[in-house]
A and B are shown apart, each in its own frame.
Chain A
Amino acid sequence: MKVFKWCIVAATTLFVAAGVAMAGDTLDAVKAKGFVQVGVNGSLFGFGMPDEKGVWRGLDVDTGRAIAVAVFGDASKVKFIPLTAVQRFTALQSGEIDVLCRNATQTLNRDTALGLDFVQVNYYDGQGFLVPKKLGIKSAKELDGATVCVLPGTTTEMNAADFFRSNNMKWKPVVIEQTSELNKAFFAGRCDCLTSDASQLAGNRAVAPKPEDYAILPEIISKEPLAPAVRHGDNQWKDIVHYSVLAMINAEELGVTSKNVDEKLKSKDPKVQRFLGVSPGNGKALGLDEKFAYNIVKQVGNYGEVFERNVGTNTPLGIERGLNALWTDGGLMYSPPFK
């Protein structure tokens, strides 16, 4: 009898393990589930964080919604899963999430060795330094010998090490896992400066006891193209995610907003007609509804609207468009034609 019991236990385990090991085509799996599972930050204001009512807000969150709209035509068919920096890639690799929109920097190593594919960048960032004004520092080159507060789990540690190494300066990192604890230690003077992506520094400064006592140094020491990522190998799913982000950028370029999108359906401009699916073709090519771009703009908005709503000058972060402006305004946001 005992042997039988053992056989049953082993067989069940094998069966369950085999089920986990097999994962089908992402789009089919998503459609069968009825929602898109998006990995987000969870505690980064402006990018991914629930508001006081529990509604998810942020640039990355809206990107996730745009993907849900593209697949289902409904921005609510999405489930956000908060992930730490350490968990995020494993969650994507293992199939726990369908797409990762968690201010992740695209790098060669991640694109290759991690088995990921990054799509269109949804925020161009760079690493900077936040210092107390009373230190009287005007440039990051004056930071020789400084103690630096660093948040782990990003490319931040490596960038900072590269910067100090290439400038022949000594430094001491203090690496604390949680942003809130790191902020407390920095504001109490444990470190001379805090380093992180410039977009996050604005957020960190906003929660300081006296924000006006802190300044962001002019140097940006790294390139941080933050982009959504998918698993390597499923090209159709990658195209869908890629063009969901591009649809928001293209909409802004064509002057289509969530407010005027219905009027624009009557536009005589063939570019707008093709984009909104009035003249069909784009949707079929992607395996989506012809109205996917219309739905994204209608339900989520164009890139400019999403940017201003989450991180723009009227939010507590108060970030200028800068590199994230359209190419026509001197930025880097550029969409290939939708045809």
Chain B
Amino acid sequence: MQKDNALQSKVPVWQDPFWRSVIYQMAALGMIALLGYYLLTNILANLERQSIATGFGFLEKESSFEIGESLISYSAADSYARALWVGVLNTLKVSFVGILMTVTLGTFIGVAHLSSNWLVSKLAAVYTEVLQDIPILLQLFFWYAIFYELLPSPREALNPVAGVFLSNRGLIFAVPESHPAHAYILWAFLAGCVTVFMMRGWARGRQEKTGQIFPVFSVSLGILIGFPLITWCLSGAPAKMDVPALRGFNFEGGVTLSPEFAALLLGLVLYTAAFVAEIVRAGIQSVSHGQTEAAMSLGLRPGRILNLVILPQALRVIIPPLTSQLLNLTKNSSLAVAIGYPDFVSVANTTINQTGQAIEGVALIMAVYLGFSLLTSAFMNWYNKRMALVER
């Protein structure tokens, strides 16, 4: 043992594999840092030489441009920072709704593809093949053209149900007028969520002890709908609606779903769902049929076979590629600029153009998309860990 140590200390540092690898990595890291430093100082020196303004000071200035749709109040008198924030929220809105719809539709199509019904299975196959193969930008142009070419002008708007208007300005529908009761209803709903969560824990515990199964789903649904409904009745059932009406050029009041948003959402969801469908199909087929037969021989019903046997195993195959598709959807939402939806890239482009600070603007665009992607990845990785095979 002692001899061994002595031998090791005699090996020079540059021949010791451990130290050698450390030195190489330090050298590589140093080189990259040096290069980064050089590029940065080079850019700054050049900008200085050409007397181009630098820095993020412009964010405080008045933006002086309007944005078509916004989740928060915004006007041309607000700052660039607020304008960019409006863009971030618009991107989040279309990505979030898009992801929920894509997962739902993709799963549905993927399962349909495996259906024993010939027609259903072939329809799903055709859907997947066709939509996968057409570039997303073309699909966006197509859906947008459909909205503005086929729908009538606001003065001749379609009015299928009272309070709902469909025109080339978008889908405009009535919403309840704002009332203090709405806040209480939201709280009641949150309270319902907590109750459901606790009830599920209790039901699982009871099932493990006694083997009795509690109807969790129907009771949860009852609580989630019942709590807000009771609150609404208790606060005097306010039912006054904010009905849109045509004034001048356009509808006022109600809530508007713009053709740009609808076209972007539709394009993204239909395109990405085709990929998700293939992933879901592959995931389900990766679970060998023997598992289903084994579960059936235990006397489980089809619904429980899917929930307890197939899905937990299929999800392990599905989640990693699904994550990358959801990231694609978020990134593809930047194509919005082509059809006029004011997403983050669109707002950032206008900002760059008005201030001329392209480097800062592009850096912001990259930072925001990196942020979105890392958040999505983090969530999906967490979900993946939860679903991973637990070795006992």
Contacts and interface: CB of A to CB of B under 8 A. Distances in A.
A85 B346 CA distance: 13
A171 to B, nearest CB: 7
Contact of B353 (A154, A162, A174): A154
Interface string A164-176: 1100000111111
Given A177-B338, A185-B148, A113 B65 contact: no
B354 A158 contact: yes
Interface of A: 2-3, 6, 10, 13-14, 17-18, 21, 85-86, 89-90, 93, 109-110, 112-115, 143-147, 152-155, 157-158, 160-162, 164-165, 171-178, 181-182, 184-185, 188-190, 192, 231-233
A174 B144 CA distance: 13
A152 B42 CA distance: 31
Given A6-B27, A10-B35, A157 B259 contact: no
Contacts, number: 139
B249 interface: yes
Interface size class for chain B? 35 or more
B169 A181 contact: no
Interface string B120-145: 00000000000000000000010011
Interface string B31-43: 1001100110010
15 contacts: A6-B27, A17-B39, A93-B50, A93-B52, A115-B52, A145-B247, A146-B249, A165-B75, A172-B68, A172-B69, A173-B68, A181-B141, A184-B145, A190-B148, A190-B259
Contacts of A114: 52-53, 356
Contact of B50 (A115, A145, A189, A192): A115
A17 B38 contact: yes
B91 to A, nearest CB: 15
Interface string B7-28: 0000000000000000010011
Contacts of B145: 184, 188
Nearest to A149: B340
Q: Is the interface of B mostly helix, strand, loop or mixed?
A: helix
- Most B CB contacts (10 A, CB to CB) among A17, A155, A165, A189 go to A189
Contacts of B373: none
A160 B168 CA distance: 22
Interface string B62-80: 0011111100000111000
B352 interface: yes
A309 B195 CA distance: 78
A172 to B, nearest CB: 5
Contact of B35 (A14, A89, A112, A154): A14
10 closest cross-chain pairs (CB), A and B = A115-B50, A113-B53, A161-B76, A176-B340, A115-B52, A114-B356, A190-B148, A157-B65, A145-B248, A188-B148
A115 B51 contact: yes
A85 B252 CA distance: 34
A192 B350 contact: no
A17 B53 CA distance: 22
B104 interface: no
B148 A86 contact: no
Given A158-B65, A160-B66, A188-B168, A6 B31 contact: yes
A93 B337 CA distance: 25
A2 B26 CA distance: 13
Contacts of A17: 38-39, 42
B352 A86 contact: yes
Contacts of B353: 85-86, 152-154
B29 to A, nearest CB: 11
B42 A161 contact: no
Nearest to A160: B66
B208 interface: no
